[in-house]
Amino acid sequence: MRGWRFGPRKPPAAALLAIFTTMSACAPPEPPAAEPAPRVMMFLGDSFTVGSGPVPPSETYASETARLMGARPVIAGASGTGYVNEGRVGRTFERSFEVELAWRPAPDLLVISGGHNDRRWRPARVRAAADRLLAKVRAHWPGTDVVVVGPLFMGEPPRRAYAVRDVLARAAQDGGVTFADPMTRRWPPATALRDGVHPTHAGHELIAAWLAAELA
C-alpha cells in the first residue's frame, strides 16, 4: 500500500530537545569525587613518643608531626624501652613492633625513635638489635618508608649517648633508611619538664617542627 511508512518516524528536532532536557533533569546527580585518604604515619618509640607526665600520646611530638604533615598517626611503644632495654613492660622495640604494629596494614611511613634508654648497653648489642628490627620491618612492609630518629635529650646528652647515636646512624645507613639526629639540636631549658628529661608541651611542639622539616 502506497503512502505507508514502516518503522518509527523520526521525531522533530524540538521533540528530541525536549526529551533530552527531561531525561537530564531526571538523571541522578553524579556523586562528588571521593577525597584521598590521609597518609598513615606510624611511630615506634619510648616515653618521648608515647607521652609522659602531663603529655598524653595525642599531644606528643609524634602526633604533632603527623598533624603538621597532614597524616594520621599510629603510636606504639612504651616508656623505658629501647632497641635492647625492655623497661618495666618487658619488651624491646622489636617486640613492640610485633605486637602493636605488624598486624596492621602497611603505613606510608614508619618512624622508629629512641636509643635514650639504651646507653647503658654495649653499642655493638644496640647495633645488632637495630639491624634485626630494620630487617624485620623491611621484610614485612617492603613498600613503607622508614626513618630512624636518634636518641632525644632535652639537656646536654651524656657521653655514652653519642656511641648509641653513632651505631644507630650506621644501622640506618646500612639498612637503606633515613637517619635524623636530634642530638645536633639544643632545646631551650624551659622546654623540659621538672624531671629535666622529658619535654613539656612546648618542647614536643619544637621537636615536631624540627622532625617535620627533616621529613619534608
Tell me the backbone φ, ψ of residue 191, rounded to 5 degrees.
-90, 5
pLDDT of residue 27 exceeding 80: no
d(CA 80, CA 48): 10
Cell of 56: 598524653
Number of other residues whose CB lies within 10 A of the CB of residue 45: 27
d(CA 65, CA 96): 21
**Percent of the chain surpassing pLDDT 90:** 78
Nearest to residue 75, comparing CAs of 41, 28, 122? 41
d(CA 82, CA 78): 9
- Of 120 and 31, the structure prediction assigns the larger pLDDT to 120
Provide the 3-class DSSP secondary structure of residue 178: strand
pLDDT at 16: 45
Under 8 Å between Cβ of 192 and 154: yes
Cell 604494629 found at? 101
Provide the 3-class DSSP secondary structure of residue 77: strand
81-121 per-position pLDDT tens digit? 999 999 999 999 999 999 999 999 999 999 999 999 999 99
pLDDT at 5: 39
Query: Helices 201-215 and 61-68 meet at what angle, rounded to 10?
Result: 50
163-190 per-position pLDDT tens digit? 999 999 999 999 999 999 999 998 998 9
d(CA 8, CA 55): 78
pLDDT of residue 38 exceeding 90: no
Q: What residue ranges do the domains of the chain occupy?
A: 39-215
pLDDT of residue 3 exceeding 50: no
134-145 per-position pLDDT tens digit? 999 999 999 999
pLDDT at 12: 54
Number of other residues whose CB lies within 10 A of the CB of residue 169: 16
pLDDT of residue 9 exceeding 70: no
Mean pLDDT of 158-162: 95
Region of poorest pLDDT, from 8-12, 156-160, 172-176 = 8-12
pLDDT at 13: 54
pLDDT at 177: 97
CATH code 3.40.50.1110 for 39-215: yes
Return the amino acid letter for 114.
Answer: G
d(CA 150, CA 113): 6
For the chain, the farthest-separated pair of C-alpha atoms sits apart, in whole angstroms, at 111
pLDDT band at 6 (very low <50, low <70, confident <90, very high): very low
pLDDT band at 30 (very low <50, low <70, confident <90, very high): low
Under 8 Å between Cβ of 71 and 38: yes
